[in-house]
Amino acid sequence: MKLLIANGYLIDPSQGVNGGKDLLIEDGRVVGLPNRSDAAPEDTEVFDATGLVIAPGFIDLHVHLREPGQEYKETIATGAAAAVAGGWTTICAMPNTDPVNDSPAVTRFVIEQSERAHLANVFPIGALTKGSAGKELSEMGEMKNAGIVAVSDDGRPVPTAAMMRRAMEYARGFDLTVVDHCQDPSLSAGAVMHEGRWSVILGLKGMPAAAEEVDAIRDCILARLTGARAHLAHVSTRGALDAVRQAKEIGLRVTCEVAPHHWTLTDEAVSEYDTNAKMNPPLRSPDHVGALLEGLRDGTVDAIATDHAPHHSDEKALEFDQAPFGITGLETAVGLAFDLVHQGVINLQRLVELCSINPARVFSLADRGTLRPNAWGDVTILDPDFQWTFDAARSRSKSRNTPFNKRSFQGAAVASIVKGQIVYLHPEFARISESKHTAGSAK
Ligand SMILES: [Zn+2]
């Protein structure tokens, strides 16, 4: 099984490659970047990537797949289908399922289901504490042997500094990154949106930026104390980002991710009480959004992660106060990232870094996020100018809770390749690529 991706523009920050290059994959692994003048080896499938960008397969560090326990919202198979349709060849699944992934049995179940679906790679994240209850540390070593790539109690903030310290000390022994949803519950209890002008106007209880920042600074201090690897999930405030920037300056092993909705929308989106504008952390005010754009540009932000959080429409149809937090995001993230490129916030190479080599480093995912020889043949193929409109009704996800329905984009992932196999090809692109091919052969 050989696949040659020919005539494209290849960006691989891990090798400093940024130019016209072909890519050869055999038996699921990268062979290398052959010379264009060389004839394709025999029995090779050729993917014509004329006009397209070839990048290491994109890695999403933060998704919620709902299986086991809430399969009516999403299954591992439907989540993986949405992932590859959005350009993500690898997704990391948070443990807040039912049961919680705090055991090797659940870890193995998630991996087996993803292998059955045969779409994206799905890497489970194990719970930090048993049942994510914040009381007793989980069996991190056993779960690591079963296949987890990090530990987190995402959605259930670790309640005390003492518990986080112990978790970091324990995780460090297994070289596991600790992922924290930074939020001090004593500052955020009962809140449903960002605390600011709009929460006052709408009469909704707000959570202050400080709720996130207090925990972000706590985690940086504890990363210094323990030497652990700490990754701050979905950073949404200026102060949390400043904490990460300072931690990096003094050499701590602290990283962070930002979610597309946090740099795209502000808390004004809540003004119609649209529950698809309700997520946690909440949409923030323009000053915080400006800080995120700065962090994406200057390198403080390590990764783009979706925080894909599917919910059933009946649940999202509740009143704003009652509806659950979270939106889907796998199929719109790359389009929203291209907005940053077209607006001049970041260039295309930085987009690729934020979605491939950097997330691979954050969780130490060996042979991913790179197209070096012998790396896994995971590839995301991008068309920076592709014009398209997102139709939630046609989403691969089981859920439709998105604020980006009917939004138009310039730029998309048009194909996803996992271990050398094309697991997704955009239908519109398939037509164009065929007509290109026909035009070529007619000459
Ligand atoms: Zn979270």
pLDDT tens, position by position, 215-234: 999 999 999 999 999 999 99
Average pLDDT over residues 180-200: 97
What size, in residues, is the chain? Answer: 443
**CA–centroid distance, residue 200 to ligand 1 (Å):** 24
Is the pLDDT at 257 greater than 70? The verdict is: yes
**CA–centroid distance, residue 325 to ligand 1 (Å):** 10
Q: What single DSSP character describes residue 368?
A: -
Q: Is the peptide bond before 281 cis (omega within 30 degrees of 0)?
A: yes
Question: Tokens at residue 211, please?
Answer: 């709720």
102 catalytic, yes or no? no
How far, CA to CA in Å, does 374 sit from each of 59, 280, 323, 379? 18, 39, 46, 13
pLDDT score recorded for residue 427: 84
Question: Tokens at residue 355, please?
Answer: 């979605």
**CA–centroid distance, residue 202 to ligand 1 (Å):** 24
DSSP 175-221: TPEEEE----HHHHTT--EESSHHHHHHT--EE-HHHHHHHHHHHHH
**CA–centroid distance, residue 266 to ligand 1 (Å):** 18
pLDDT score recorded for residue 161: 96
Q: What is the pLDDT of residues 55-77, one digit of tens each?
A: 999 999 999 999 999 999 999 99
Is the pLDDT at 140 greater than 60? The verdict is: yes
**CA–centroid distance, residue 244 to ligand 1 (Å):** 17
Residue 270: CA atoms inside 13 Å, Cβ hemisphere, count? Answer: 30
Catalytic-labelled residue, pool 307, 314, 383, 391: 307
**CA–centroid distance, residue 11 to ligand 1 (Å):** 30
Q: What is the pLDDT of residues 337-374, one digit of tens each?
A: 999 999 999 999 999 999 999 999 999 999 999 999 99
